[in-house]
Amino acid sequence: MSQSLSQEFDTLSKFGILKDYLPIEVTCNLSKQIKLRPYQVQALNRWLYYIDEYDGRPSRSHLLFHMATGSGKTVLMAALILNLYIRGYRNFLFFVNSSQIIEKTRDNFLNQVSPKHLFNNPIRIDGKPVNVQSVDTFQAVSSDAINIHFTTIQGLHIRMNTPKEDSITMEDFREYKIVMISDEAHHLNAETKKNRTQTEIKQINSWEHTVTNIFCQHSENLLLEFTATADLNHPAIREKYHDKILYDYQLKDFRQDGYSKDIELRQADLPPLDRMIQAMVLSQYRRKVAEAHGIHCKPVILMKSKTIAESSENERLFTSKVKKLSGTDLLEMRNSLSSEDKTLVQAFKYIIDEHGVDYDEFALELQGDFGDGKIVNVNKPKDLEELQIDLNNLEDHSNDLRVIFAVNKLDEGWDVLNLFDIVRLYNTRDSKGDKIGRTTMSEAQLIGRGARYFPFIDPSQPEAIPEIRKYDRDLKHPLRILEELYYHCSHNPRYIDEIKKALIKIGMEDDNTREVNLRLKESFKKSQFYQIGYVWINKRVKNLNEGVTKLDDYKIDNYFTYSILNTGHVEETSAFSDEIPESKTFIETPVSRELQLSEFNRHILNFAMDSNEFFHFSNVKKYFPHITSISEFQTSKSCLGCVKVQVRGLKRDLDNMSPKEKLKIVRYILSQIEENIKRESVEFVGTTEFTSLKVRECFTDKKIKIRTEGEAGLSWEKRILMGLTYSIP
């Protein structure tokens, strides 16, 4: 088989052919709180090349973004919507299998006060505000707005086959070009599979067929699919998406890049109630560790049952136990712990011994944090729809939920970062032989969803990226507990083996990693140097750029080139003649003209800078602290006042440049300046003040996690250089 589409683009990326910057209409119109991650930028760069330059692109394009759970596919959808708006698309059909995902996405797209709102407020494109609105049909909608119809796949099928007044119909798709956006798109493959279940047979005429029929209604329609779990091992599905997967960013890549929590499997030979109480204690321990480091974190527990009846009973048992919880109960729990349960032993030591909280006080605290109003059961579909917004914003300071009881209602479309404990309250297995059971695989995928990283800043490492794991090289660090998700289950070695295999298969676990203890030699520990020696260190502080006075300090050349080239081809023919048109070509020689950027009309400069958040005064001031105003930045000979641009084109075009063309020139220059500043700027610098620390405090035994492929075979010297051993804090 020939190279797949994703393999072709892997090659283009490897050789640096893809564009390396994004249109400002996209970057400036996403929410200010969104900072695109490298893999999201890579996905958008692939899209731009595909839509603008890829020779094999059909006019009616169908693409799949196969990206890991938690990787921000909805952010990517928003960026694509903005880019497609620029390309003339106004109507978008968003559809998914689940109604609760619809409500979550509607909130993210439309609710401007939501903490997870995706767009800037307002969106401005070509100087005009652009509204995002939900519509029931595409008839008589605004041609200046982003019009989105939200629906489930099932609801879409019903409306297509039993049309009603004021409802979307197939005629809508014949008249207008549409961008179809399918989330959790693996549900669309019922018709593709040859070995179908009875449920999938019923879906043939209601899902995949309906979507395909809509897609074919207009020659410029686009179908963009997003999923983390396409069954690419199935031959028919693999063949279907061979030329459609534009970007394949799997869960293993997501985890290796540090964007997920690590998974810890906790098996205990205890009844379900005791495992729930243990999870509660660990959750509170995690909260206390975070607070001690100045981090707001409200950890959430998911209590997962096999049936709705069992879930209700487990909820009753838990709430009853919490209401009656006493200090004696907690003392008995601590006394019954095995020495092998190092995490729970450490939790009690931290709370009771080190921080002086007595057992009765701790019991009262747990009753308050896990009492009425802090627990919810989501097994009823009606309740789930009402609770969906709260479940999607569990990280909010105003959201008090700590425990969620569920069966399988949260297996898809649940965006939560502060889920740290999943308690499996049943002990059945469905794996047979070497084949991983469907339930076990579903549980592994739920773990993968819960493993989304909780972003935080360690006050001792302010330069560390909040969204990425920080302590793979220091597993004993107290904040490591904020980088781990605990999966609590009963003691069942066969099941543990099966869930590990499932986690490895989906990429959430790596069978090539191991924990390594790095120990100092005892002879070194006994040495005089180790006992009484000192090392001198300086601190890293935020770079205030006080020495920056001009563009050249960021290695920015003040001379740019920009081309405006049109052909000189003219055709003349009679409107009533059957003759082949006579072609007359007048060749004009392009000329160059040097312009001073500061001489452009002030309103053009202001508009270009206003539409790019990087050049708002508050941000410019960070990079050029001596600047007192945007006007000074525009006119100063040390800043934009020294910038010249050589514009190349036909003389008549240069003589009659429109304001829009001038705006393009200014935007291009600003984007190049922004790119240079970001590349050359340094966020932190070392101070000239040094303080002493004892050697024995800097160098200690340490436990790290390494991959046995590559790292284990390195020499000790190379591993030190790569930072695989401990370093001075």
C-alpha 443/C-alpha 305 separation (Å) is: 11
Mean pLDDT of 288-295: 95
Is residue 712 scored above 60 in pLDDT?
no
pLDDT digits (tens, 9 = 90+) for 91-116: 999 988 877 778 888 989 999 988 88
Q: Determine contact, residues 179/224, Cβ cutoff 8 Å.
A: yes
In this prediction, residue 719 carries a pLDDT of 46
pLDDT at 229: 78
Is the pLDDT at 80 greater than 80? The verdict is yes
CA gap 179, 217 in Å, rounded: 12
Distances (CA, A) of 413 to 226, 263, 477: 12, 20, 32
Round the CA-based radius of gyration of the chain to a whole number and report it.
30
* Per-residue pLDDT tens over the stretch 555-568: 998 899 888 755 44
- What number is the average pLDDT over the span 51-63? 90
Q: How far apart are CA 439 and CA 448, in angstroms?
A: 14
Here the contacts of 200-203 (C-beta below 8 Å, separation 24 or greater) are none
State how far the Cα of 513 lies from the Cα of 396, in Å rounded to an integer. Answer: 34
Q: Report pLDDT digits (tens) over 208-241.
A: 788 888 899 999 999 999 988 777 878 888 888 8
- Selected residue with higher pLDDT from 140 and 375: 375
Bridge partner list, 83: none
In this prediction, residues 590-611 reach a mean pLDDT of: 88
What own/partner pairs with CB < 8 Å and gap ≥ 24 does 717-721 have?
Answer: none
Token duo for residue 657 = 């440049």
pLDDT tens digits for 515-555? Answer: 788 888 888 888 988 888 898 888 777 888 888 989 999 99
**What is the average pLDDT across 332-359?**
94
- For the cut 90, the answer to whether the pLDDT of residue 299 exceeds it is yes
pLDDT of residue 155: 82
The pLDDT, as a whole number, for residue 23 is: 86
Long-range pairs for 52-61: beta carbons < 8 A, 24 or more residues apart:
56/243, 59/219, 59/220, 60/215, 60/216, 60/218, 60/219, 60/220, 60/221, 60/222, 61/222, 61/223
Q: Give pLDDT tens digits for 445-467.
A: 889 888 999 999 998 888 788 99
Q: What is the mean pLDDT of the chain?
A: 85
Taking CA atoms, 126 is separated from 80, 130, 136, 301, 333, in Å, by: 17, 10, 27, 46, 65
Tokens 């250089």 belong to 721
Kindly report, residue by residue over 397-448, the tens digit of the pLDDT.
888 999 999 997 666 657 789 999 999 999 988 887 778 888 888 888 889 8
Which of 263-267, 314-318, 501-505 shows the lowest per-residue confidence on average (mean pLDDT)? 501-505
Query: What pLDDT is attached to residue 515?
Result: 77
pLDDT at 728 over 50: no
* Rounded Cα gap, residues 452 and 228, in angstroms: 13
Residue 717 has pLDDT above 60, yes or no: no
Nearest residue to 419 via CA among 475, 486, 507: 486
More confident site: 725 or 541: 541
pLDDT at 690: 87
pLDDT of residue 196: 56
Residue that is written with structure tokens 């309740």 in the block: 383
pLDDT over threshold 50, residue 716: no
Q: Is the pLDDT of residue 332 over 70?
A: yes
Alpha-carbon span 44 to 19, nearest angstrom = 9
Least confident of 161-170, 302-311, 498-507, 583-592: 583-592
